[in-house]
Structure 1
Amino acid sequence: MAEFGTIRRAGSGVRTAEIDVGLRAHMNKVYGLMSIAMVVTGAVAWVFGTDAANFVNNRPTGLIPAAMIEAIYFSPLRWVIMFAPLVMVFAMGAMVNRLSESALQFFFYSFSAVMGLSISWIFAVFTGMSIAQTFFITAIAFAGLSLWGYTTKKDISGWGSFLIMGVIGLIVASIVNIFLQSPAVMFAISGLGVLIFAGLTAYDTQKIKNDYLMMRSQGGEAYLGKAAIMGALSLYLDFINLFMFLLQFLGNRE
Protein backbone atom coordinates (compact mmCIF):
# COMPACT_ATOMS: atom_id res chain seq x y z
CA MET A 1 0.00 0.00 0.00
CA ALA A 2 1.21 3.48 -0.79
CA GLU A 3 2.31 5.56 2.17
CA PHE A 4 0.29 8.61 3.16
CA GLY A 5 3.04 10.96 2.04
CA THR A 6 3.25 9.36 -1.39
CA ILE A 7 -0.50 9.52 -1.84
CA ARG A 8 -0.62 13.18 -0.87
CA ARG A 9 2.22 14.12 -3.22
CA ALA A 10 0.71 12.16 -6.09
CA GLY A 11 -2.69 13.70 -5.53
CA SER A 12 -1.48 17.28 -5.24
CA GLY A 13 -2.58 18.04 -8.80
CA VAL A 14 -6.20 17.12 -8.12
CA ARG A 15 -8.37 19.84 -6.70
CA THR A 16 -9.38 19.23 -3.09
CA ALA A 17 -13.05 19.94 -3.76
CA GLU A 18 -13.15 17.36 -6.57
CA ILE A 19 -11.46 14.77 -4.37
CA ASP A 20 -13.89 15.39 -1.51
CA VAL A 21 -16.96 15.05 -3.72
CA GLY A 22 -15.60 12.04 -5.58
CA LEU A 23 -14.43 10.32 -2.41
CA ARG A 24 -17.80 10.85 -0.75
CA ALA A 25 -19.58 9.36 -3.77
CA HIS A 26 -17.13 6.44 -3.86
CA MET A 27 -17.61 5.62 -0.17
CA ASN A 28 -21.38 5.92 -0.53
CA LYS A 29 -21.23 3.40 -3.36
CA VAL A 30 -19.10 1.05 -1.27
CA TYR A 31 -21.50 1.16 1.68
CA GLY A 32 -24.50 0.92 -0.65
CA LEU A 33 -23.18 -2.25 -2.31
CA MET A 34 -22.34 -3.70 1.07
CA SER A 35 -25.81 -2.92 2.42
CA ILE A 36 -27.56 -4.64 -0.50
CA ALA A 37 -25.35 -7.70 -0.01
CA MET A 38 -26.24 -7.72 3.70
CA VAL A 39 -29.95 -7.66 2.86
CA VAL A 40 -29.50 -10.58 0.46
CA THR A 41 -27.55 -12.54 3.08
CA GLY A 42 -30.08 -11.83 5.81
CA ALA A 43 -33.06 -12.80 3.65
CA VAL A 44 -31.52 -16.09 2.51
CA ALA A 45 -30.33 -16.94 6.03
CA TRP A 46 -33.74 -16.21 7.56
CA VAL A 47 -35.75 -18.18 5.00
CA PHE A 48 -33.56 -21.28 5.15
CA GLY A 49 -32.75 -20.99 8.85
CA THR A 50 -36.33 -20.69 10.06
CA ASP A 51 -37.41 -23.61 7.90
CA ALA A 52 -34.47 -25.64 9.25
CA ALA A 53 -35.65 -24.86 12.78
CA ASN A 54 -39.16 -25.96 11.85
CA PHE A 55 -37.80 -29.17 10.36
CA VAL A 56 -35.76 -29.98 13.46
CA ASN A 57 -38.78 -29.37 15.71
CA ASN A 58 -41.07 -31.49 13.52
CA ARG A 59 -43.07 -28.49 12.36
CA PRO A 60 -44.16 -27.88 8.75
CA THR A 61 -41.58 -26.03 6.67
CA GLY A 62 -42.54 -22.92 4.74
CA LEU A 63 -40.90 -22.03 1.43
CA ILE A 64 -38.20 -24.71 1.50
CA PRO A 65 -39.19 -28.36 0.96
CA ALA A 66 -38.31 -30.71 3.82
CA ALA A 67 -36.23 -32.88 1.47
CA MET A 68 -34.07 -29.89 0.55
CA ILE A 69 -33.62 -28.93 4.21
CA GLU A 70 -32.51 -32.46 5.03
CA ALA A 71 -30.03 -32.45 2.14
CA ILE A 72 -28.58 -29.05 3.01
CA TYR A 73 -28.12 -29.58 6.74
CA PHE A 74 -27.91 -33.33 7.28
CA SER A 75 -26.04 -34.73 4.27
CA PRO A 76 -22.43 -34.34 3.00
CA LEU A 77 -23.72 -31.37 0.99
CA ARG A 78 -23.43 -29.31 4.18
CA TRP A 79 -19.63 -29.39 3.86
CA VAL A 80 -19.82 -27.98 0.35
CA ILE A 81 -22.10 -25.18 1.56
CA MET A 82 -19.84 -24.49 4.52
CA PHE A 83 -16.70 -23.94 2.43
CA ALA A 84 -18.33 -22.52 -0.71
CA PRO A 85 -18.08 -18.86 0.44
CA LEU A 86 -14.34 -19.23 1.07
CA VAL A 87 -13.82 -20.68 -2.41
CA MET A 88 -15.93 -17.93 -3.97
CA VAL A 89 -13.93 -15.18 -2.24
CA PHE A 90 -10.68 -16.49 -3.70
CA ALA A 91 -12.33 -16.93 -7.11
CA MET A 92 -13.66 -13.37 -7.04
CA GLY A 93 -10.21 -12.01 -6.26
CA ALA A 94 -8.64 -14.07 -9.04
CA MET A 95 -11.20 -13.02 -11.68
CA VAL A 96 -11.56 -9.33 -10.78
CA ASN A 97 -9.52 -8.19 -13.80
CA ARG A 98 -11.28 -10.50 -16.26
CA LEU A 99 -14.89 -9.77 -15.25
CA SER A 100 -16.81 -6.68 -16.28
CA GLU A 101 -18.03 -4.39 -13.53
CA SER A 102 -21.62 -5.65 -13.86
CA ALA A 103 -20.49 -9.29 -13.82
CA LEU A 104 -18.32 -8.66 -10.77
CA GLN A 105 -21.25 -7.03 -8.98
CA PHE A 106 -23.51 -9.99 -9.84
CA PHE A 107 -20.82 -12.37 -8.54
CA PHE A 108 -20.69 -10.37 -5.30
CA TYR A 109 -24.43 -10.62 -4.77
CA SER A 110 -24.36 -14.33 -5.63
CA PHE A 111 -21.62 -14.78 -3.06
CA SER A 112 -23.72 -12.95 -0.45
CA ALA A 113 -26.62 -15.35 -1.12
CA VAL A 114 -24.35 -18.38 -0.66
CA MET A 115 -22.99 -16.82 2.51
CA GLY A 116 -26.55 -16.43 3.78
CA LEU A 117 -27.15 -20.12 3.18
CA SER A 118 -23.91 -21.10 4.92
CA ILE A 119 -24.76 -19.16 8.11
CA SER A 120 -28.50 -19.88 8.10
CA TRP A 121 -28.01 -22.49 10.81
CA ILE A 122 -27.85 -19.70 13.41
CA PHE A 123 -31.65 -19.32 13.20
CA ALA A 124 -32.00 -22.96 14.26
CA VAL A 125 -29.50 -22.64 17.12
CA PHE A 126 -29.93 -19.12 18.57
CA THR A 127 -33.07 -17.24 19.53
CA GLY A 128 -34.30 -14.65 17.07
CA MET A 129 -34.11 -11.91 19.72
CA SER A 130 -30.46 -12.61 20.52
CA ILE A 131 -29.60 -12.63 16.79
CA ALA A 132 -31.30 -9.25 16.36
CA GLN A 133 -29.57 -7.80 19.43
CA THR A 134 -26.16 -9.05 18.31
CA PHE A 135 -26.74 -7.64 14.83
CA PHE A 136 -27.61 -4.25 16.33
CA ILE A 137 -24.49 -4.26 18.54
CA THR A 138 -22.35 -5.32 15.56
CA ALA A 139 -23.79 -2.51 13.44
CA ILE A 140 -22.94 0.10 16.09
CA ALA A 141 -19.42 -1.26 16.57
CA PHE A 142 -18.83 -1.52 12.82
CA ALA A 143 -20.02 2.04 12.20
CA GLY A 144 -17.73 3.41 14.91
CA LEU A 145 -14.69 1.44 13.75
CA SER A 146 -15.26 2.29 10.09
CA LEU A 147 -15.73 5.98 10.90
CA TRP A 148 -12.49 5.97 12.88
CA GLY A 149 -10.64 4.26 10.02
CA TYR A 150 -11.97 6.88 7.60
CA THR A 151 -11.20 9.96 9.69
CA THR A 152 -8.02 9.06 11.56
CA LYS A 153 -4.81 10.79 10.53
CA LYS A 154 -2.82 7.81 11.76
CA ASP A 155 -1.43 5.51 9.07
CA ILE A 156 -2.63 2.03 10.05
CA SER A 157 -1.51 0.31 6.84
CA GLY A 158 1.10 -1.56 8.89
CA TRP A 159 -1.69 -3.49 10.59
CA GLY A 160 -2.52 -5.33 7.39
CA SER A 161 0.06 -8.12 7.42
CA PHE A 162 -0.55 -8.96 11.08
CA LEU A 163 -4.32 -8.98 10.68
CA ILE A 164 -4.20 -11.18 7.56
CA MET A 165 -1.94 -13.64 9.38
CA GLY A 166 -4.47 -13.61 12.20
CA VAL A 167 -7.30 -14.41 9.79
CA ILE A 168 -5.34 -17.34 8.35
CA GLY A 169 -4.74 -18.60 11.88
CA LEU A 170 -8.46 -18.32 12.66
CA ILE A 171 -9.40 -20.30 9.55
CA VAL A 172 -6.95 -23.08 10.37
CA ALA A 173 -8.00 -23.19 14.04
CA SER A 174 -11.70 -23.23 13.10
CA ILE A 175 -11.22 -26.13 10.68
CA VAL A 176 -9.28 -28.09 13.31
CA ASN A 177 -11.96 -27.39 15.91
CA ILE A 178 -14.64 -28.83 13.63
CA PHE A 179 -13.15 -32.20 14.56
CA LEU A 180 -12.04 -31.37 18.13
CA GLN A 181 -15.34 -29.73 19.15
CA SER A 182 -13.56 -28.01 22.06
CA PRO A 183 -15.55 -25.24 23.81
CA ALA A 184 -12.32 -23.71 25.16
CA VAL A 185 -10.79 -23.51 21.69
CA MET A 186 -14.05 -22.06 20.31
CA PHE A 187 -14.06 -19.42 23.04
CA ALA A 188 -10.46 -18.44 22.24
CA ILE A 189 -11.18 -18.34 18.49
CA SER A 190 -14.23 -16.13 19.06
CA GLY A 191 -12.33 -13.69 21.27
CA LEU A 192 -9.46 -13.36 18.82
CA GLY A 193 -11.92 -13.14 15.94
CA VAL A 194 -13.67 -10.14 17.44
CA LEU A 195 -10.35 -8.32 17.92
CA ILE A 196 -9.00 -9.20 14.47
CA PHE A 197 -12.10 -8.19 12.53
CA ALA A 198 -12.55 -5.03 14.58
CA GLY A 199 -9.04 -4.07 13.47
CA LEU A 200 -9.75 -5.10 9.88
CA THR A 201 -12.86 -2.90 9.76
CA ALA A 202 -10.78 0.21 10.47
CA TYR A 203 -7.89 -0.98 8.29
CA ASP A 204 -10.06 -1.81 5.27
CA THR A 205 -11.95 1.48 5.49
CA GLN A 206 -8.71 3.45 5.41
CA LYS A 207 -7.41 1.26 2.59
CA ILE A 208 -10.53 1.89 0.48
CA LYS A 209 -10.09 5.62 1.00
CA ASN A 210 -6.39 5.57 0.15
CA ASP A 211 -6.90 3.35 -2.89
CA TYR A 212 -9.42 5.86 -4.23
CA LEU A 213 -7.01 8.77 -3.76
CA MET A 214 -4.22 6.83 -5.44
CA MET A 215 -6.38 5.89 -8.43
CA ARG A 216 -7.58 9.44 -8.87
CA SER A 217 -4.05 10.78 -8.77
CA GLN A 218 -2.73 8.19 -11.24
CA GLY A 219 -5.61 8.35 -13.74
CA GLY A 220 -7.20 5.08 -12.68
CA GLU A 221 -10.81 6.32 -12.75
CA ALA A 222 -11.80 3.44 -15.06
CA TYR A 223 -11.13 0.97 -12.26
CA LEU A 224 -13.02 2.82 -9.53
CA GLY A 225 -16.23 0.85 -10.13
CA LYS A 226 -14.51 -2.48 -9.54
CA ALA A 227 -12.57 -1.01 -6.63
CA ALA A 228 -15.86 -0.03 -4.98
CA ILE A 229 -17.19 -3.60 -5.35
CA MET A 230 -14.02 -5.14 -3.90
CA GLY A 231 -14.06 -2.58 -1.10
CA ALA A 232 -17.68 -3.48 -0.35
CA LEU A 233 -16.66 -7.15 -0.26
CA SER A 234 -13.92 -6.41 2.28
CA LEU A 235 -16.22 -4.48 4.61
CA TYR A 236 -19.00 -7.04 4.14
CA LEU A 237 -16.67 -9.84 5.26
CA ASP A 238 -15.53 -7.76 8.23
CA PHE A 239 -19.14 -7.19 9.33
CA ILE A 240 -20.26 -10.81 8.86
CA ASN A 241 -17.29 -12.24 10.73
CA LEU A 242 -17.54 -9.68 13.53
CA PHE A 243 -21.23 -10.55 13.87
CA MET A 244 -20.64 -14.30 13.91
CA PHE A 245 -17.90 -14.11 16.53
CA LEU A 246 -19.92 -11.76 18.73
CA LEU A 247 -22.89 -14.12 18.44
CA GLN A 248 -20.83 -16.81 20.17
CA PHE A 249 -20.62 -14.52 23.20
CA LEU A 250 -23.98 -12.76 23.11
CA GLY A 251 -26.32 -15.28 21.50
CA ASN A 252 -28.86 -17.21 23.58
CA ARG A 253 -29.29 -20.75 22.33
CA GLU A 254 -32.67 -22.28 21.65
Structure 2
Amino acid sequence: MADPIRNYQTGAASGARVDIDQGLRAYMIKVYNLMGLGLLITGLAAWGAFHLAVTGDGQLTGFGQLIYASAFRWVVILAPLAAVMFLSFRIQSMSVAAAQTTFWVYAGLVGLSLSTIFLVYTGTSITQTFFATAAAFGGLSLYGYTTRRDLSAFGSFLIMGVIGLLIAMLINIFLQSSALAFAISAIGVLVFAGLTAYDTQRIKEMHFEG
Protein backbone atom coordinates (compact mmCIF):
# COMPACT_ATOMS: atom_id res chain seq x y z
CA MET A 1 0.00 0.00 0.00
CA ALA A 2 1.37 3.40 -0.93
CA ASP A 3 2.44 5.65 1.91
CA PRO A 4 0.51 8.94 1.45
CA ILE A 5 2.92 10.88 3.68
CA ARG A 6 5.96 9.73 1.71
CA ASN A 7 4.18 10.49 -1.56
CA TYR A 8 3.34 13.97 -0.31
CA GLN A 9 6.94 14.61 0.78
CA THR A 10 8.30 13.35 -2.54
CA GLY A 11 5.85 15.50 -4.46
CA ALA A 12 6.66 18.55 -2.36
CA ALA A 13 10.39 18.05 -2.88
CA SER A 14 9.89 17.68 -6.64
CA GLY A 15 7.76 20.82 -6.71
CA ALA A 16 10.43 22.74 -4.81
CA ARG A 17 13.07 21.64 -7.31
CA VAL A 18 10.87 22.77 -10.20
CA ASP A 19 10.32 26.16 -8.53
CA ILE A 20 14.06 26.55 -7.96
CA ASP A 21 14.87 25.57 -11.54
CA GLN A 22 12.29 27.98 -12.93
CA GLY A 23 13.53 30.77 -10.69
CA LEU A 24 17.14 30.13 -11.65
CA ARG A 25 16.24 29.96 -15.33
CA ALA A 26 14.40 33.29 -15.16
CA TYR A 27 17.28 34.83 -13.23
CA MET A 28 19.92 33.67 -15.71
CA ILE A 29 17.82 34.77 -18.69
CA LYS A 30 17.55 38.24 -17.16
CA VAL A 31 21.32 38.36 -16.63
CA TYR A 32 22.06 37.32 -20.21
CA ASN A 33 19.48 39.74 -21.58
CA LEU A 34 21.25 42.58 -19.79
CA MET A 35 24.60 41.35 -21.08
CA GLY A 36 23.22 41.08 -24.60
CA LEU A 37 21.85 44.62 -24.45
CA GLY A 38 25.21 45.84 -23.18
CA LEU A 39 26.93 44.07 -26.07
CA LEU A 40 24.51 45.68 -28.51
CA ILE A 41 25.29 49.13 -27.08
CA THR A 42 29.01 48.40 -27.38
CA GLY A 43 28.67 47.33 -31.00
CA LEU A 44 26.54 50.32 -31.97
CA ALA A 45 28.88 52.72 -30.17
CA ALA A 46 31.91 51.26 -31.96
CA TRP A 47 30.21 51.35 -35.35
CA GLY A 48 28.84 54.85 -34.82
CA ALA A 49 32.12 56.26 -33.51
CA PHE A 50 34.02 54.86 -36.48
CA HIS A 51 31.62 56.35 -39.02
CA LEU A 52 31.77 59.70 -37.25
CA ALA A 53 35.57 59.54 -37.13
CA VAL A 54 36.37 58.46 -40.68
CA THR A 55 35.14 59.88 -43.98
CA GLY A 56 34.12 57.79 -46.96
CA ASP A 57 37.59 58.09 -48.50
CA GLY A 58 39.35 56.97 -45.32
CA GLN A 59 40.34 60.35 -43.92
CA LEU A 60 39.95 61.26 -40.26
CA THR A 61 37.34 63.85 -39.40
CA GLY A 62 37.83 66.34 -36.58
CA PHE A 63 36.20 63.84 -34.24
CA GLY A 64 38.51 61.13 -35.54
CA GLN A 65 41.55 63.30 -34.94
CA LEU A 66 40.35 63.84 -31.38
CA ILE A 67 39.76 60.22 -30.38
CA TYR A 68 42.44 58.53 -32.51
CA ALA A 69 45.29 60.98 -33.04
CA SER A 70 45.38 63.35 -30.07
CA ALA A 71 46.29 62.99 -26.42
CA PHE A 72 42.58 62.53 -25.74
CA ARG A 73 42.90 59.00 -27.13
CA TRP A 74 44.35 57.97 -23.76
CA VAL A 75 41.12 59.03 -22.13
CA VAL A 76 39.22 56.90 -24.64
CA ILE A 77 41.51 53.92 -23.99
CA LEU A 78 41.46 54.13 -20.20
CA ALA A 79 37.85 55.24 -19.65
CA PRO A 80 36.41 51.68 -19.66
CA LEU A 81 38.96 50.61 -17.04
CA ALA A 82 38.01 53.61 -14.90
CA ALA A 83 34.33 52.65 -15.19
CA VAL A 84 35.09 49.08 -14.11
CA MET A 85 37.05 50.30 -11.09
CA PHE A 86 34.25 52.69 -10.17
CA LEU A 87 31.69 49.89 -10.33
CA SER A 88 33.92 47.54 -8.36
CA PHE A 89 34.30 49.97 -5.47
CA ARG A 90 30.79 51.43 -5.46
CA ILE A 91 28.51 48.60 -6.57
CA GLN A 92 27.50 47.62 -3.03
CA SER A 93 26.29 51.13 -2.19
CA MET A 94 24.64 51.96 -5.52
CA SER A 95 20.97 51.67 -6.34
CA VAL A 96 19.91 49.25 -9.05
CA ALA A 97 19.12 52.13 -11.41
CA ALA A 98 22.50 53.78 -10.81
CA ALA A 99 24.35 50.50 -11.30
CA GLN A 100 22.52 49.79 -14.56
CA THR A 101 23.14 53.32 -15.83
CA THR A 102 26.84 52.98 -15.05
CA PHE A 103 26.86 49.66 -16.89
CA TRP A 104 25.29 51.23 -19.99
CA VAL A 105 27.87 54.03 -19.87
CA TYR A 106 30.62 51.44 -19.53
CA ALA A 107 29.26 49.52 -22.53
CA GLY A 108 29.30 52.69 -24.61
CA LEU A 109 32.85 53.55 -23.53
CA VAL A 110 34.04 50.07 -24.47
CA GLY A 111 32.48 50.54 -27.90
CA LEU A 112 34.19 53.89 -28.32
CA SER A 113 37.57 52.42 -27.37
CA LEU A 114 37.08 49.40 -29.65
CA SER A 115 36.06 51.46 -32.66
CA THR A 116 39.68 51.47 -33.81
CA ILE A 117 39.33 47.85 -34.94
CA PHE A 118 37.37 49.13 -37.95
CA LEU A 119 40.52 50.99 -38.99
CA VAL A 120 42.54 47.77 -39.07
CA TYR A 121 40.22 44.88 -39.90
CA THR A 122 37.52 44.27 -42.47
CA GLY A 123 33.87 43.92 -41.56
CA THR A 124 33.98 40.23 -42.55
CA SER A 125 36.92 39.55 -40.26
CA ILE A 126 35.25 41.35 -37.36
CA THR A 127 32.00 39.44 -37.90
CA GLN A 128 33.76 36.07 -38.03
CA THR A 129 35.69 36.85 -34.88
CA PHE A 130 32.53 37.97 -33.11
CA PHE A 131 30.68 34.73 -33.81
CA ALA A 132 33.70 32.59 -32.92
CA THR A 133 34.06 34.46 -29.64
CA ALA A 134 30.33 34.23 -28.95
CA ALA A 135 30.42 30.46 -29.49
CA ALA A 136 33.40 30.08 -27.17
CA PHE A 137 31.71 32.23 -24.53
CA GLY A 138 28.53 30.17 -24.78
CA GLY A 139 30.40 26.91 -24.33
CA LEU A 140 32.46 28.14 -21.39
CA SER A 141 29.45 29.73 -19.72
CA LEU A 142 27.50 26.49 -20.14
CA TYR A 143 30.36 24.63 -18.48
CA GLY A 144 30.36 27.05 -15.56
CA TYR A 145 26.59 26.66 -15.24
CA THR A 146 26.48 22.87 -15.33
CA THR A 147 29.73 21.74 -13.71
CA ARG A 148 29.63 20.36 -10.18
CA ARG A 149 33.24 21.35 -9.62
CA ASP A 150 33.74 24.29 -7.29
CA LEU A 151 35.54 26.98 -9.29
CA SER A 152 35.77 29.51 -6.44
CA ALA A 153 39.39 28.60 -5.75
CA PHE A 154 40.34 29.95 -9.18
CA GLY A 155 38.76 33.36 -8.63
CA SER A 156 41.67 35.15 -6.95
CA PHE A 157 44.17 33.62 -9.36
CA LEU A 158 42.16 34.74 -12.39
CA ILE A 159 41.71 38.29 -11.06
CA MET A 160 45.46 38.50 -10.47
CA GLY A 161 45.91 37.31 -14.05
CA VAL A 162 43.71 40.14 -15.34
CA ILE A 163 45.69 42.70 -13.35
CA GLY A 164 48.92 41.27 -14.70
CA LEU A 165 47.59 41.46 -18.25
CA LEU A 166 46.57 45.10 -17.81
CA ILE A 167 50.03 45.99 -16.54
CA ALA A 168 51.68 44.11 -19.40
CA MET A 169 49.43 45.85 -21.94
CA LEU A 170 50.30 49.27 -20.55
CA ILE A 171 54.01 48.44 -20.65
CA ASN A 172 53.74 47.16 -24.22
CA ILE A 173 52.19 50.44 -25.35
CA PHE A 174 55.68 51.86 -24.96
CA LEU A 175 57.74 48.76 -25.83
CA GLN A 176 55.73 47.84 -28.94
CA SER A 177 56.96 44.24 -28.67
CA SER A 178 55.22 41.81 -31.02
CA ALA A 179 56.34 38.84 -28.89
CA LEU A 180 54.89 40.39 -25.74
CA ALA A 181 51.69 41.24 -27.60
CA PHE A 182 51.34 37.61 -28.69
CA ALA A 183 51.98 36.39 -25.14
CA ILE A 184 49.38 38.81 -23.78
CA SER A 185 46.85 37.58 -26.32
CA ALA A 186 47.49 33.90 -25.59
CA ILE A 187 47.44 34.29 -21.82
CA GLY A 188 44.43 36.59 -22.07
CA VAL A 189 42.43 33.90 -23.87
CA LEU A 190 43.16 31.42 -21.07
CA VAL A 191 42.47 33.88 -18.26
CA PHE A 192 39.18 35.13 -19.67
CA ALA A 193 38.09 31.61 -20.56
CA GLY A 194 38.50 30.72 -16.90
CA LEU A 195 36.75 33.90 -15.80
CA THR A 196 33.76 33.15 -18.02
CA ALA A 197 33.18 29.78 -16.36
CA TYR A 198 33.96 31.14 -12.88
CA ASP A 199 31.67 34.16 -13.20
CA THR A 200 28.81 32.05 -14.55
CA GLN A 201 29.03 29.75 -11.56
CA ARG A 202 29.26 32.75 -9.24
CA ILE A 203 26.15 34.34 -10.80
CA LYS A 204 24.31 31.06 -10.31
CA GLU A 205 25.37 30.94 -6.66
CA MET A 206 24.27 34.54 -6.13
CA HIS A 207 20.75 33.52 -7.10
CA PHE A 208 20.62 30.84 -4.40
CA GLU A 209 22.19 33.18 -1.85
CA GLY A 210 19.35 35.62 -2.48
TM-score, normalization by structure 1: 0.74
Once superposed, what is the RMSD of the aligned Cα atoms? 1.8
Answer whether contact 2:24 2:204 (CA < 8 A) is retained: yes
**In 2: Cα distance, 1:31 partner to 1:54 partner:** 35
Tell me which residue corresponds to 2:40.
Answer: 39
Answer whether contact 1:85 1:114 (CA < 8 A) is retained: yes
Instruction: For structure 2, list consecutive stretches of 5 or more residues without a partner in the other structure.
Output: 1-12
**In 2: Cα distance, 1:199 partner to 1:140 partner:** 15
**Which of the numbers 159, 168, 177 marks the counterpart of 2:172?**
177
**In 2: Cα distance, 1:141 partner to 1:16 partner:** 30
Q: Tell me, yes or no, if structure 1 residue 197 matches structure 2 residue 198.
A: no
Aligned length in residues:
197
Tell me which structure has the larger Cα radius of gyration.
2
Q: How does 1:8-23 map to 2 (within 5 A)?
A: 15-23=16-24
Tell me which residue corresponds to 1:87.
Answer: 82
Tell me which residue corresponds to 1:243.
Answer: none
Tell me which residue corresponds to 2:3.
Answer: none
- 1:165 CA displacement: 1.1
Change (3 A) 1:176 1:55: farther
Tell me which residue corresponds to 1:133.
Answer: 128
- 1:56 CA displacement: 7.8
**In 1: Cα distance, 2:51 partner to 2:176 partner:** 25
Structure 1 runs of 4+ aligned residues shifted over 4 Å read none
- 1:107 CA displacement: 1.2
Percent of pairs with identical residues: 50
Change (3 A) 1:178 1:162: same
Q: Tell me, yes or no, if structure 1 residue 165 matches structure 2 residue 160.
A: yes
Instruction: For structure 1, list consecutive stretches of 5 or more residues without a partner in the other structure.
Output: 1-11, 216-254
Answer whether contact 1:53 1:123 (CA < 8 A) is retained: no
Q: Which amino acid aligns with 1:137?
A: A
